[in-house]
Amino acid sequence: MAAGRLLVEVPAPLNEQGSLEAGAAIFMSSDARALAIAGYDESSDKGSVPDISRSATTMFHTFHRVAARRDVLQVRAYKSASVRAIAGVRTGSGSISPQNPESSLWVKGALPPGLHLAGLRESLDALHIQWSAPPFPNVQRDATVSGFAELVLNSEDLRRVIFKPLLATHPAKRKDQLERIAGYLQDWILRSKEEIAGPGSDLYVRPKLEELLLFDTEVLTPLIGIARAEAPKGGQPRLDTEALRTVQAAASLFGYSVTIYHHIPTGQDYFIISEQSGKAARRYWGTYVLRIGRSNNYMVQVPRPLFEINSFEYGVNLFERLSARALLIGGAHPAANRDGSANLVSGSIKESLFSLVSQGVLRESPEPIMVIQSRAFGLDPNHVTPNAGALISFSNGAMTLPAVPEAGLKLMELLDQDRLSPRFVDGGRDVVGYEVGSTPQSLYMNETLGKEFAILWLSPTARATYRQQTENQRLDAQFRSLGIPTNERDFHGFLSSAGRNSSRPLPAELRGRLISYLNSQDVVVLHAIKGAWPGYRFSRTIDINTKQAFLLITAPDGRISAIANLNPRRPLQTLAIPPDGMSGDIAASFIDARTALLEFGDHR
3-state secondary structure 381-418: CCCCCCCCCEEEEECCCCCCHHHCCHHHHHHHHHHHHC
Q: Is the pLDDT of residue 225 over 60?
A: yes
Separation between Cα atoms, residue 375 and residue 310, nearest integer Å: 9
Per-residue pLDDT band for 95 (boundaries 50, 70, 90) equals very low
pLDDT, one tens digit per residue, over 125-175 is 788 899 999 888 899 999 999 999 999 999 888 888 887 776 656 667 888
Q: Indicate whether 461 pLDDT > 70.
A: yes
pLDDT score, position 53 = 76
Residue 120: pLDDT band (50, 70, 90) is: confident
At 345, the amino acid letter reads V
296 pLDDT above the threshold of 60: yes
Candidate from 34-48, 176-190, 366-380 with smallest mean pLDDT: 34-48
Which pLDDT belongs to residue 51?
A: 65
Give residue 18's pLDDT. 87
Would you say residue 1 has pLDDT above 50? no
Residue 122: the pLDDT is 79
Top-confidence residue, 246 or 225: 225
- Name the least confident of 54-58, 339-343, 356-360, 510-514: 54-58
Asked whether residue 221 carries a pLDDT value surpassing 90, the answer given is yes
Sequence-distant (6+) residues with CB within 8 A of 258 are 172, 173, 219, 223, 244, 247, 248, 251, 271, 272, 273
> Looking at residues 165-194, what average pLDDT do you find?
78
pLDDT at 123 over 70: yes
| pLDDT of amino acid 46 | 46
Structure confidence at residue 93 (pLDDT): 43
Q: What is the SS3 assignment for 198-211?
A: CCCCCCCCCCCHHH
- pLDDT reported for residue 42: 57
Q: Looking at the predicted structure, is the pLDDT value of residue 278 above 60? A: yes
Q: Specify whether the backbone of 377 is left (phi greater than 0), alpha (psi in -120 to 50) or beta.
A: beta
Instruction: Please report the DSSP string for 236-282 in residue order.
Output: PPPP-HHHHHHHHHHHHTTTEEEEEEEETTTTEEEEEEEEPTT-SS-
CA 566 to each of CA 471, 526, 551: distance values in angstroms, whole numbers, following the listed order: 13, 12, 7
Condensed to tens digits (0 to 9), the pLDDT of residues 420-431 reads 889 999 888 888
- 10: Cα separation from own chain's centroid: 36
Which strands form 324-329's sheet, in the order they lie side by side?
Answer: 173-177, 256-263, 268-275, 287-291, 324-329, 296-302, 369-376, 451-458, 390-394, 422-424
| Rounded Cα distance, 504 and 555, in Å | 8
What pLDDT was estimated at residue 235?
63
Most confident of 77-91, 139-153, 189-203, 589-603: 139-153
Cα–Cα dist 160/116, whole Å: 16
Q: Where on the phi/psi map is residue 56: left (φ > 0), alpha (ψ -120 to 50), or beta? A: alpha
Among the residue ranges 31-45, 127-141, 261-275, 331-345, the one predicted with the least confidence is 31-45
* Mean pLDDT value of segment 543-550: 92
Q: Please report, as a single letter, which amino acid is at residue 83.
A: V
pLDDT at 321 over 50: yes
CA 529 to chain CA mean position, Å: 46
* pLDDT over threshold 70, residue 578: no
How far is Cα 11 from Cα 138, in angstroms, rounded to an integer?
Answer: 10
pLDDT tops 90 at residue 230: no
The confidence score (pLDDT) of residue 2 equals 46
Which pLDDT belongs to residue 152? Answer: 94
Q: Which of 13-22, 166-175, 334-343, 439-448 has the lowest mean pLDDT?
A: 166-175
∠ CA 580-583-584, nearest 5°, is: 165
Q: Tell me which amino acid residue 61 is.
A: H
Cα 308 to chain centroid distance, Å, stands at: 20
Query: What is the mean predicted confidence (pLDDT) over 87-114?
Result: 70
What pLDDT sits at residue 82? 65
Per mean pLDDT, which range of 155-164, 289-298, 475-484 is the poorest?
155-164
The pLDDT score that the predictor gives to residue 97 is 43
pLDDT tier, 580 (very low <50, low <70, confident <90, very high otherwise) = low
Q: Give the mean pLDDT of 261-265.
A: 91
Instruction: Give Dmax over CA atoms of the chain in angstroms.
Output: 102
Question: Considering only CA atoms, which of 403, 418, 357, 377 is closest in space to residue 589?
Answer: 418
Q: Output the pLDDT for position 532.
A: 93
Higher-pLDDT residue of 512, 90: 512
Q: How far apart are CA 191 and CA 175, in angstroms?
A: 17
Residue 221: exposed, middle, or buried by beta-carbon count in 10 A (0-12, 13-18, 19+)? middle
Question: pTM (2 decimals)?
Answer: 0.77
Residue 288 pLDDT level (bands cut at 50, 70, 90): very high
Task: Tell me the percentage of the chain whose pLDDT exceeds 90.
Answer: 49
Q: How confident is the model at residue 543 (pLDDT cuts 50, 70, 90)?
A: very high
